[in-house]
Chains A and B, each alone.
Chain A
Amino acid sequence: MNAPKPAEPASDFAPWLDPAQAPLIRFENVTKKYGDFTAIDNLTLDIYEREFYSLLGPSGCGKTTLMRLLAGFEVPTKGRILISGEDISAIPPNKRPINMMFQSYALFPHMSVAQNIAFGLKQEGKSKREINARVDEMLSLVQLEPFANRKPQQLSGGQRQRVALARSLAKKPKLLLLDEPLGALDKKLREQTQFELVNLQEKLGMTFVIVTHDQEEAMTVSSRIAVMDLGKVKQVATPDIIYEQPNSRYVADFIGDVNFIEGAYIKQSISESDTKLQHFQSSSHGELVAQGEIELSADEKAWLALRPEKIEISKEKPGFTNNCIKGKVWDIAYVGNTSTYHVQLSDGTFIKAQRVNRNRLRKRRITWEDDVWLSWHSDAPVILTK
């Protein structure tokens, strides 16, 4: 297998910011109910051509239902689904220009790899020569040429995953749906395949929608991520915005590790470098300061969301007084490249602070039961009101 090429930074790819662009897929106030249970709750979203769009959320959040609505296996209870401006709600799954890669791969066990890949093409009534050419093309794309005549049972998990991918790509769909495509692979293979998927998507210029519950996977592959909960979309944004500027505690907590400190709003001030500083009163940690453009009234409750890697941990009190909390190291989670310190504060709560282990472990200066200072820059926290 080729070494994964780094995915090109798609910084200039942002059709969602361009009002002149028409979306490929549009969900318009879509609701899907199963009896009393609302799986999708009045959901509206746009997916643009050539996007790698992730639906991320815990199980039961409605992400799989959303995908099945797109594939046509479910019909919306209310609302419309448009593809290139055309309502597809009434089109059966076998007539949609959409293909799906199933979580279970759903490879036909009584057919060979080549027959599996050819299946969709045969339904289109293409000539044998065209089908064979396309099957060969797909086999070489997923590097499975030597396995064309094997049955799916005779392949490894990673190979089956690639057959499923080739089969769903064979018809050149306008939109490819991937339902937890890498869920069955082990971690190493999964990471490698993530890059392959991104490269493939860019090479083919196709639109991918992926369902996943793995936040790292979503961060790696996506142009945009939709974080879902209870049938609603909580936030749609690029991976860096989702991580650095989550719009709610739910999103902040779902993606990566985070500490929340509750505080009451005091006032706004302007720093020497002309940035707005918001001041909060925390019941047990005194006054905390965070940069932000938020408008709050006095005494209004808010949360400061702090990523562990943005917190400094030191034995000596830092030179500045803002955003400094004293605590005691309660536990250390060592994962090799980083260590996460679980620090107990005076009020009994815990804060996680992360350090990169640049030095050898034996030189580690901070250890269990040490009194430490936690501090962070006023730029580090995100102010959240919900």
Chain B
Amino acid sequence: MKNNVNWGRVALIAIPFLWLFFLFLLPFGSVIKMSLSDMATARPPYTPVFNSEEGIIGLWTLISEFDLENYLLLTEDELYWRSYFSSLKIATLSTIFTLLIGFPIAYGMAKTPSQWRATLVMLIILPFWTSFLIRVYAWIGILKQEGLLNNALIYFGIIDQPLVILNTDIAVYIGIVYSYLPFMVLPLYATLEKIDYSLLEAALDLGCSQFKTFWVIVVPLALPGIIAGCFLVFIPAMGEFVIPDLLGGSSTLMIGKTLWGEFFNNRDWPVSSAVAVILLMLLIVPIVLFQKMQEKELKEQGQ
């Protein structure tokens, strides 16, 4: 057992750790550092800046000048908490809509004869071949006043006046649900496909109605997929920037948009860094919950 270090194994395990260290932890540390700094009209646009010539003393002066001013600002200006709250609301509702639309799709796919399933999964993934940005832009063409949707509705005589959808929260919901639907459908499909459908027959055989069988058998067994899908939609939707920017109106508040504004319009890197750190903290809670859930599921499967 002495000096028996398997270097190949260490190297293999090290790769993801190094990846996370350099591409997540280090940049995140830099963001935290920036969030503790003050804005300055300089390049880079914040102080203090670490001067390597001063060595350890330089590091000390750097740390001594850090403060929580930016975080205090976030609590004082109601724009920020309203943005967080609005993001939370939009992300939650979008997740629910995505689940309501995605579940029947995934269930239908799981019940399709197996030779068709691969094709259906392919169709779900297919939109990814086109750039996300272009697909969101396409919705502008569909939703605008003289857009595809309004023209069609007027043509069929369902409405007289074009509906105002673009640049409202509705357009944001449509955009998010559309964009993140595959992330809901795929994990749902993966769990629904594994369900042994003789369980449904067994429930029916024991006197349970079709409708009740769905709730007492299918939904509990699909729960891991439902949770995974919801997190995969909720987490990115929470920080979404492109969709509210392109489809939403000026009144649509989302934290991603606020962050963008602070960074590029106000050039206030320290405050936008603080916004990003708080957003991450808010998201870590559901991520940790998600991981706990997965661990529990793995343990149960292991038995």
Residues of chain A whose beta carbon lies under 8 Å from any beta carbon of chain B: 71-73, 92-95, 98-100, 102-104, 106-110, 119-120, 123-124, 151, 153-154, 167-168, 171
Check A108–B199 contact: CB distance below 8 A.
yes
Report whether B206 and A167 are in contact in the complex, using a CB–CB cutoff of 8 Å.
yes
Chain A min CB distance to B205 (Å) = 5
B204 part of interface (Cβ distance < 8 Å): yes
What A residues does B221 contact at CB under 8 A?
A: 109-110
Residues in A neighbouring B300, C-beta threshold 8 A: 151, 153
| Measured CA separation A318–B122 after assembly (Å) | 75
What is the CB-to-nearest-CB distance from A100 to chain B, in angstroms, rounded to a whole number? Answer: 5
Nearest B residue to A98 via CB reads: B205
Q: Does the CB pair B208–A119 fall under 8 Å?
A: yes
Shortest beta-carbon distance, A118 to chain B, in Å?
Answer: 10
Contact of A123 with B205 at beta-carbon distance under 8 Å, contacts A108-B199, A110-B220, A153-B300 already known: no
Q: Given A108-B217, A154-B303, are A123 and B208 also a contact pair (CB < 8 Å)?
A: yes
Closest B residue to A100 by beta carbon equals: B205
Cα distance A92–B211 in the bound complex, in angstroms: 13
14 A–B contacts, CB within 8 A, in A order? A92-B204, A93-B201, A94-B210, A99-B205, A102-B202, A104-B196, A106-B196, A106-B201, A106-B202, A110-B221, A153-B300, A153-B303, A154-B303, A167-B206
Chain B residue at smallest Cβ distance from A167: B206
Which A residues are in CB contact (< 8 Å) with B210? 94
Smallest CB separation, A175 vs chain B (Å): 12
A163 smallest CB distance to B (angstroms): 12
| Chain B interface residue count, Cβ-Cβ cutoff 8 angstroms | 19
Q: Chain B's nearest CB lies how many Å from the CB of A385?
A: 42
- Bound form: Cα–Cα A107–B205 in Å: 12
Residues of chain A within 8 A of B198, CB atoms compared: 102-104, 106
Beyond A106-B202, A119-B203, whether A94 also contacts B208 by CB under 8 A is: yes
Instruction: Closest B residue to A104 by CB, please name it.
Output: B198
Tell me if B16 is interfacial: C-beta within 8 Å of chain A: no
B201 and A171 form a contact (CB under 8 A): no
* B contact residues around A102 at 8 Å (CB): 198, 201-202
Other A-B contacts than A93-B204, A94-B206, A94-B210, 17 sampled, CB-CB below 8 A, are A72-B205, A92-B204, A94-B204, A94-B205, A102-B198, A106-B196, A106-B201, A107-B202, A108-B199, A108-B217, A109-B199, A119-B203, A123-B212, A154-B303, A167-B206, A171-B206, A171-B207
Name, among A72, A102, A103, the residue most crowded by chain B CB atoms within 10 Å (CB to CB): A102
Which of A92, A102, A123, A167: most chain B Cβ within 10 A? A123
Q: How far is the CA of A100 from the CA of B200 in the complex (A)?
A: 13
Judge whether B208 and A106 touch: CB under 8 Å: no
CB-CB nearest 5 A-B residue pairs: A120-B206, A123-B207, A106-B202, A106-B198, A93-B204
Query: Which residues from B are CB-within-8-Å of A108?
Result: 199, 202-203, 217
Residues in chain B near residue A124, CB distance under 8 A: 207
Q: In the complex, A154→B303 CA distance in Å?
A: 7
